[in-house]
Chains A and B, each alone.
With several copies, the nearest count.
Chain A
């Protein structure tokens, strides 16, 4: 009866109403890693709600969740015990609701299917027509078909593939050979059309983000980054040297906005060693972020 402890856990999970406040004591009997590996957690381990969300999110849908439950309880799928499966399934769906996970309608459809099968199984035997199929058959067929594909997907993921496992060996023409592959030509209008197509599709941007003013700030941001990376990696350069007075007031403002934006995005570091001393600027390095912790 090695499953007793697990069953207890599951029972707790299914009978206990999982309000956020009780989460502290509530123990989840499993963890789900990379969609596959199932690791038993120590009983007293508290799983914070956002981790729980990740666990629940790792199910690819109702079939995946059902498969997990069946495996977890070592149920024989051919003798699918619909009652406990349904109860457990519903407890997970409740959990998903509790953590306000956007619950796909498919999960509720499956709940209805399970409930229907359960009710049909409860009917006295003689009332069921003789040639009627076991009401679980269709569900079992779907579960098995899904499992086959789930495994096939894992196999495909393990195949050696370009970029990750296979590198191509190439040789180039000698530099003295003038032949050059003709690269494709692009018209400026193509570029605009392309961007408008994206924007139309997504409508993700407000148009003012792409207004001219922002654009020149963005260009200035690029210029400053280029300047700083040309300044030998992590060397500082003088703040003033970023400005070009000949550009007039407008240019100075744009540069200043660009510096502020870069600081906000944590791409550069400004330093003033003494009060009223020179301000220096450099690219932010990887180590900088470690220092902060």
Chain B
């Protein structure tokens, strides 16, 4: 058997050692196969660890594919002084494409082009696939059988989200900034969100 304290220590060390978020399943099956620990015990240990770290410099955070320790946000600016590598910036074209895939998945390239009104460069799709933010979910049953894209768990992990629900809400079309509302009844709108 293993004491609660030992269990917490072990899980804590495992999360710290992993370079990807660590799932409860992986903790159970790969870290603790010999100890016979039930999932609720693991969950309780994670809760205790999370509480312990709240007042510290790092926090235990749950993202889509599991748990990871993140540097407390308030220290980011100071910590950034230590690293030389500048974070990458992404173009508007890439972000708009990513937004469409995230919110309207599964979506084909030509559907993305319809909304954006411009061609989507292969460069953007390739970059998104290589970053493992999007993947091909299947092929649409229309002539040419185009790929349908969707987002991945890695995409959610990267933005520290647990699920797609946590993406910011889309603005309702009525709140479109360019509507003054003087002649609302001129055109019948039925636009799906």
Contact = CB atoms under 8 A, between A and B. Distances in A.
B68 A60 contact: no
Interface stretch (B32-40, B43-51, B87-95): B87-95
Given A159-B168, A194-B96, A225-B150, A152 B163 contact: no
Contact of A289 (B85, B137, B141, B159): B141
A75 B177 CA distance: 11
Interface in A108-131: 110
Contacts of B89: 184
B90 A186 contact: yes
B95 A157 contact: yes
Contacts of B92: 35, 60, 153, 194, 197
A148 B173 contact: yes
B191 A188 contact: yes
Interface in A57-82: 60-64, 67, 70-71, 74-79
A204 B70 CA distance: 41
B27 to A, nearest CB: 16
Contacts of B11: none
B2 interface: no
A61 B177 CA distance: 19
Contacts of B119: 104, 106
B177 A150 contact: no
Interface stretch (A44-52, A94-102, A166-174): A166-174
B96 A169 contact: no
A112 to B, nearest CB: 13
A155 B26 CA distance: 32
B3 interface: no
A14 interface: no
Contact of B87 (A77, A182, A198): A182
Interface stretch (A5-13, A15-23, A215-223, A273-281): A215-223
A192 B137 contact: no
* Interface size class of chain B, counting residues whose CB lies under 8 Å from the partner chain: 35 or more
A142 B118 CA distance: 12
Contact of B164 (A147, A174, A215): A215
Contact of A153 (B96, B106, B177, B192): B96
B169 A211 contact: yes
B63 interface: yes
A137 B187 contact: yes
A74 B168 CA distance: 27
A202 B117 contact: yes
Contact of B173 (A165, A169, A179, A203): A203
A74 to B, nearest CB: 8
B129 interface: no
Interface string B59-96: 00101000011110100100110011101111011011
Contact of A192 (B131, B168, B177, B183): B168
Interface of A: 35, 60-64, 67, 70-71, 74-79, 104, 106, 110, 133-134, 136-137, 140-157, 159-177, 179, 181-205, 207-208, 210-212, 215-216, 218-219, 221-222, 225-226, 229, 265-267, 283-284, 286, 288-289
24 contacts: A78-B187, A137-B189, A141-B191, A145-B173, A149-B96, A153-B92, A156-B95, A165-B73, A167-B17, A169-B17, A171-B17, A173-B70, A182-B88, A193-B95, A194-B95, A195-B170, A200-B173, A210-B170, A212-B165, A215-B164, A218-B104, A219-B164, A221-B106, A267-B106
Nearest first, the 8 A-B pairs at minimum CB distance are A207-B172, A61-B118, A195-B99, A169-B16, A194-B95, A169-B69, A164-B87, A171-B16
